[in-house]
């Protein structure tokens, strides 16, 4: 089963790609619906091959399970545009999502042609297992939340403050 999102955001593709790699941005995207805490320490920015475990908490309080994150990435050129893809093939370790046999989350970013300050964001989650049909509605709703948060937060990702002369 799949959850698919495709939308544009108000920041350049380089800023979006940096944000995709940020555990801090991930916590901002899921908050306050789901709070995330590192179990074994996360890097400042995820790189291919990185792994880490997260504790998920509903509303930031109630433990709802642990999730292993395993990062890889690829790059393609499609219709002349550079498309960068971050993939998380980790797996839920505990909680309701641990009933899933498959967890494949991919985020692709690419510049919007003719709009250097806009990025096309594609977010795909593939889940599998006997529990997938039961869990899919909740994950679909969570991904709608993600989209709203990404759209709201994206303009801040490229913000470079002006420095005043002292």
CA distance 25 to 48: 17
Q: Which residue has the tokens 């970013």?
A: 109
Question: Does residue 75 sit in helix, strand or coil?
Answer: strand
Place of tokens 């989650």: 125
Domains within the chain, CATH numbers bracketed: 2-156 (3.30.530.20)
Q: Where are the beta strands (DSSP E) in the chain?
A: 2-9, 34-38, 51-58, 62-78, 81-88, 102-112, 115-128
Does the pLDDT at position 163 exceed 80?
Answer: no
Place of tokens 């790059």: 75
Q: Considering only CA atoms, which of 85, 131, 126 is closest in space to residue 102?
A: 126
Model confidence pLDDT, tens digit, residues 82-112:
999 999 999 999 999 999 999 999 999 999 9
More confident of the two residues 154 and 163: 154
State pLDDT tens for residues 5-31.
Answer: 999 999 999 999 999 999 999 999 999
């Amino acid at each position: 089963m799949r959850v698919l999102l495709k939308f544009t955001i108000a920041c350049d593709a380089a800023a979006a790609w940096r944000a995709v790699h940020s555990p801090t941005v991930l916590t901002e995207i899921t908050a306050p619906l789901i709070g995330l805490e590192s179990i074994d320490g996360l890097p400042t920015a995820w790189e291919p091959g990185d792994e880490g475990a997260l504790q998920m908490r509903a509303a930031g309080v109630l433990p709802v399970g642990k999730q292993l994150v395993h990062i890889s990435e690829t790059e393609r050129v499609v219709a002349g545009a550079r498309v960068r893809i971050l993939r998380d093939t980790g797996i839920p370790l505990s909680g309701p999502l641990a009933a899933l046999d498959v967890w494949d989350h991919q985020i692709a970013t690419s510049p919007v042609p003719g709009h250097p300050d806009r990025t096309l964001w594609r977010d795909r989650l593939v889940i599998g297992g006997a529990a997938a049909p039961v869990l899919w509605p909740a994950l679909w709703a969570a991904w709608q939340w993600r989209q709203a948060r990404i759209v709201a937060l994206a303009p801040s990702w490229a913000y470079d403050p002006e420095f005043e002369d002292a």
